A and B are shown apart, each in its own frame.
Chain A
Amino acid sequence: MNRIQNKLSQNKKLLSIYFTAGYPKINDTVSIIQELEKSGVDMIEIGLPFSDPLADGPTIQASSTAALQNGMTTKLLFEQLRTIRESIQIPLLIMGYFNPILQFGVAEFCRKCSETGIDGLIIPDLPVDIYEKEYKSTFEKFGLTNVFLITPQTSDERIRFIDSISNGFIYMVSSSSVTGSSDGFSEIQTNYFKRISEMNLKNPLIVGFGINNKKTFEQATKATSGAIIGSAFVKHLTKNGISKIDSFISGIRLF
């Protein structure tokens, strides 16, 4: 059992946090991870910044642009994370777009992840069929969990297929929407969470997009295993830097 599966088996409502590496300051990456773990976060998605993040909203795009201007690169991120497992126990994933990974070399990227202690990857623009045909064996060779997204428009048949090739969790997009653009869930959305959870998939469901406070976290996790907060946390970093991370987290969920 890997760190992600182990965490998911603990049977609580998991809180996962996304942040963009190299933002607000280039060397904040490790401090942010440490603060998040100390604050009781269950899992972290480290965003590898990309110039053209088309599935993300303005907040995350702006943080990516700033991180790149700060000098963040794939190589530098791995350097920053080199000794991360000396202090961090919770699962760590890298979330990034496919092109920077392709340029680094997919196999080399996976090898570095494995060496560093990264548990999984979320690559929104790597399609399921191409992953399965060309990259699945490489990911598995390095013990990496690849996480796929589903949306309210994803057919049941496709959800079953995605479930069949997933080995960690399924990232359930709360609405067909780029990140950071909704405030509170409608009944349509909560019904969608319920409908998917009743499909009894083998992988747990974690909800992302539109979770920004205690209320939305609770709504999202009522029928699912957890939720991911991205834009709201990045906004917190924009405003406060790396201070007060614990108060942001305790505002979402008490431990």
Chain B
Amino acid sequence: MTYNIDKNGFYGEFGGAFIPEMLYANVEELRQNYLKISNETSFKTEFENLLRDFAGRPTPLYFAERLSKKYNTKIYLKREDLCHTGAHKINNTIGQILMAKHLGKTRIIAETGAGQHGVATATVCALMGLQCIVYMGEIDIKRQSPNVARMKMLGAEVRPATSGSKTLKDATNEAIRDWINNPIDTYYIIGSVVGPHPYPDMVAKFQSVISDEIQKQLLEKEGRENPDYVIACVGGGSNAAGAFYHFLDNENVKLIAVEAAGKGIHSGESAATSVLGKVGIIHGSKTLLMQSPDGQITEPYSISAGLDYPGVGPMHANLYQTKRAEFLAITDDEAMQSGLELAKTEGIIPAIESAHAFAVLDKKPFKPDDVVVISLSGRGDKDLNTYIDYFKL
């Protein structure tokens, strides 16, 4: 039994490439080359060097002493918030920009919701001197103006997605349309473990540096490679995929995926895809997604812009269905309180996405000698306005 991808691009029944013929040549080119290219020594060397010198890896695995005392267990934080640009997203964009270069592509497109992936993409495009176009929902552009400014400073063009609900899923549709219209010179850097095969696997592999480092660092600190628990938040699921990756097939390590319950799972304003979703097709992938009985994709809600994707990556859909991972849903209020708690207890202001993962500490009892690793996927600077509004700071 493996929870990794099979040779046809599926995790169990999930995944595949449900794409129109117009995308076939592009996706097929990537499918045939991504493993070969990413296994080349020159690629690996360049990737590792950039992760180290540009992104600032390895990120620390930090023993959170005061938090551990409070919850009477051993809590380690994987500090992805210390990565360049403020989150784990940069791991993936460095990998994919190198992939684009190896494939000879000169024009880069990306989608973004909150703007974190857009910034991470604009950053690596500036680094490589490549043209960068980021699609972003018109509504998100208004909500996330500092990230729009960052992308512009980095030389990217931010194009508003004005169709549908004007948010992340529509930005993704627009990026896919752009790729259809520009099949020769353009490379599409997807920001999460979503989309048609091979994207979910490729992005998971680039993010797997997270769990690779956890293993090495835990060996040093605890004399063991494997924790008892790994906890990570899931929107599309890229930081969770990276944090789980090297533990997927070791069932002694319990995996906890944390979704955004918004104002309550059944409030009508939620992004708890595993509970509310049904099997369907979104952005070229068969997975769990929030939809109407008629198969129309519905708009999710979370206070955290990085978690309000109406689907989850196919790896996570399979982890949910096989019960390999436990899925928990955390409300806006619970996440905000956990964010404040982490700030006061450990001196770290987390991204609201990551704060969802910390709320699990109040939901679930852990034993005193359990080693619990929480993926602190991003820092809270970008969320300051939301924190200010919420806590009336």
- A201 and B284 alpha carbons, distance in the complex (Å): 29
Q: A99-B295, A178-B180 are in contact. Are A54 and B21 (CB under 8 A)?
A: no
* Chain A contacts for B280, CB-based, 8 A: 99, 102-103
- A148 and B294 alpha carbons, distance in the complex (Å): 24
Contact with B along A111-148 (1 / 0, CB 8 A): 00000000000001111001000000000000000001
Contact of B18 among A126, A148, A153, A181 (CB under 8 A): A126
For B279, the closest partner residue in chain A by CB is A102
- A149 and B180 alpha carbons, distance in the complex (Å): 13
Contact of B281 among A55, A65, A98, A150 (CB under 8 A): A98
- A173 and B22 alpha carbons, distance in the complex (Å): 8
A-B contact pairs, 27 of them (CB 8 A): A50-B295, A51-B296, A52-B164, A52-B169, A54-B20, A55-B180, A62-B163, A65-B163, A73-B294, A98-B18, A99-B280, A99-B291, A100-B294, A103-B293, A104-B294, A104-B295, A124-B20, A127-B19, A130-B18, A149-B22, A151-B22, A151-B24, A151-B183, A153-B183, A154-B21, A154-B25, A173-B22
Q: A51-B164, A61-B163, A99-B295 are in contact. Are A176 and B183 (CB under 8 A)?
A: yes
Asked if B297 is at the interface (CB within 8 A of a chain A CB), the reply is yes
Q: Say whether A50 contacts B22, CB under 8 Å.
A: no
Interface of chain B, main secondary structure: mixed
Q: A58-B163, A61-B163, A125-B284 are in contact. Are A103 and B294 (CB under 8 A)?
A: yes
* Chain A contacts for B173, CB-based, 8 A: 52-54
* Chain B contacts for A54, CB-based, 8 A: 20, 173, 176-177, 180, 283
Contact with B along A176-219 (1 / 0, CB 8 A): 11100100000000000000000000000000000000000000
Given contacts A52-B169, A54-B180, 14 further A-B contacts (CB under 8 A): A52-B283, A61-B163, A62-B163, A98-B18, A99-B280, A99-B295, A102-B279, A103-B280, A126-B18, A153-B22, A153-B25, A158-B24, A177-B22, A178-B180
Q: Say whether A173 contacts B21, CB under 8 Å.
A: yes
Asked if A68 is at the interface (CB within 8 A of a chain B CB), the reply is yes
Contact of A99 among B20, B163, B176, B282 (CB under 8 A): B282
Asked if B17 is at the interface (CB within 8 A of a chain A CB), the reply is yes
- A148 and B22 alpha carbons, distance in the complex (Å): 11
- A158 and B28 alpha carbons, distance in the complex (Å): 12
What are the 5 A-B residue pairs with the smallest beta carbon separation, nearest first? A103-B295, A100-B295, A153-B25, A149-B21, A55-B20
- A255 and B345 alpha carbons, distance in the complex (Å): 80
Q: Say whether B180 contacts A177, CB under 8 Å.
A: yes
Asked if B16 is at the interface (CB within 8 A of a chain A CB), the reply is yes
Asked if A101 is at the interface (CB within 8 A of a chain B CB), the reply is yes
Number of A-B contacts (CB under 8 A): 110
Which residues between 285 and 323 of chain B lie within 8 Å of chain A, taking CB atoms? 291, 293-298
* Chain B contacts for A99, CB-based, 8 A: 280-282, 291, 295, 297
Q: A61-B163, A98-B281, A99-B282 are in contact. Are A130 and B21 (CB under 8 A)?
A: no
- A236 and B341 alpha carbons, distance in the complex (Å): 58
- A178 and B25 alpha carbons, distance in the complex (Å): 15
For B175, the closest partner residue in chain A by CB is A54
* Chain A contacts for B281, CB-based, 8 A: 97-99, 102, 125
Q: Say whether B283 contacts A101, CB under 8 Å.
A: no
* Chain A contacts for B170, CB-based, 8 A: 52
For A53, the closest partner residue in chain B by CB is B173
- A173 and B20 alpha carbons, distance in the complex (Å): 11
Interface centre among A61, A65, A127, A149, by most B CB within 10 Å? A127
A95 to chain B, nearest CB (A): 12
Contact of B164 among A55, A61, A100 (CB under 8 A): A61
Asked if B278 is at the interface (CB within 8 A of a chain A CB), the reply is yes
Q: Say whether A68 contacts B22, CB under 8 Å.
A: no
Asked if B250 is at the interface (CB within 8 A of a chain A CB), the reply is no
* Chain A contacts for B22, CB-based, 8 A: 55, 149, 151, 153, 173, 176-178
Asked if A164 is at the interface (CB within 8 A of a chain B CB), the reply is no
* Chain A contacts for B163, CB-based, 8 A: 58, 61-62, 65
Which residues between 153 and 177 of chain A lie within 8 Å of chain B, taking CB atoms? 153-155, 158, 173, 176-177
* Chain A contacts for B49, CB-based, 8 A: none
Interface centre among B17, B18, B278, B279, by most A CB within 10 Å? B18
Asked if A241 is at the interface (CB within 8 A of a chain B CB), the reply is no
Asked if B181 is at the interface (CB within 8 A of a chain A CB), the reply is yes
- A68 and B284 alpha carbons, distance in the complex (Å): 21
B8 to chain A, nearest CB (A): 9
- A97 and B279 alpha carbons, distance in the complex (Å): 15
For B297, the closest partner residue in chain A by CB is A51
Which residues between 49 and 83 of chain A lie within 8 Å of chain B, taking CB atoms? 50-55, 57-58, 61-62, 65, 68, 73-75
